[in-house]
Amino acid sequence: MVFNLGGSHFLSPCQFYLGIDSAYTNQELNQKLVEVETLSAEKQLLLATQNETLERQVAERTAALKASQAQLIQSEKLASLGELTAGIAHEIQNSLNFVDNFAEVSAEMLVEMDAELDKGDVKEAKAISADIQQNLSKINHHGQRASAIVKGMLEHSRASTGIKELTDLNALADEYLRLAYHGLRAKDSTFNAMMETHFDESLPKVEVIPQDIGRVLLNLINNAFYAVNERAKQKMKVTPLL
């Protein structure tokens, strides 16, 4: 209610107090709004911080799992390589024995050839020279065989870099074919198989991860050797062919 006194207007006490109360109420509401906004901003900051921490922990855990998986794969490869080492070392030793024997025989034949030359028997000296050349060819063959075995073992033991490399698939397949063969021979000395390879010489080098592809090839070839060997056991006097 408004009072008019001498041309002046006055609020009634009730209206006056209502106005004051309304002002305080608005002030409190504004203060509460500021508090809510501040609290909301703090919660958003806290939530963002927690999300960032969680993402970092997930990334660290993922990296740790990948590292553990890589170590496990490498350990399995080294374990399988350890199982093959003794038998494959025997295969390498066989090749080295051939190299030693042919080298020793060739040295003796050189002495014989010198003696024939001293006697003037050129024909016999040439015949001995031809035999020496055959021995050198055999030395080269068995040396390459031992080298291929070692190369395959080293390739198999290498940790995968995960990086693609220009790779000769023919050579890679041949290396793992021989590694699989000698590995099975190492486990079972009675195992024997003939191997025929038909490589496409026009095949260009391709970018692959050689360790990973080699592991796949090794598993495939091992399975194939196992299958043909089982069939050979069922059919006596049959040499398995891969």
pLDDT in tens, 103-162: 888 888 888 888 888 888 888 888 888 888 888 888 888 888 788 777 777 766 666 667
Residue 100 in any domain: the answer is no
Residue 59 in any domain: the answer is no
**Which helix or strand (DSSP H or E) is residue 33 part of?**
helix 13-119
pTM: 0.46
Percent of the chain with pLDDT over 70: 65
Residue 181 in any domain: the answer is yes
Q: How far apart are CA 214 and CA 220, in angstroms?
A: 10
What residues make up the domain containing 224? 160-242
Whether residue 26 is predicted with pLDDT greater than 60 in this model: the reply is yes
Residue 222 in any domain: the answer is yes
Residue 199 in any domain: the answer is yes
Q: What is the mean pLDDT of residues 38-58?
A: 72
Q: What is the mean pLDDT of residues 17-45?
A: 66
Residue 220 in any domain: the answer is yes
Rounded to the nearest angstrom, the gap between the alpha carbon of residue 175 and the centroid of all alpha carbons in its chain is 16
From the list 241, 98, 97, 95, the residue with the least C-alpha distance to 181 is 241
Quick: pLDDT tens for 81-103. 565 666 677 777 778 888 888 88
Q: What is the mean pLDDT of residues 21-47?
A: 68
If one counts the domains in the chain, the total is: 1
Quick: pLDDT tens for 222-239. 888 888 878 777 766 656
Residue 92 in any domain: the answer is no
Whether residue 11 is predicted with pLDDT greater than 70 in this model: the reply is no
Contact 177, 195 (CB under 8 A): yes
Residue 34 in any domain: the answer is no
**Per-residue b or e along 1-38, where b marks 16 or more CB atoms closer than 10 Å to that residue's CB:** eeeeeeeeeeeeeeeeeeeeeeeeeeeeeeeeeeeeee
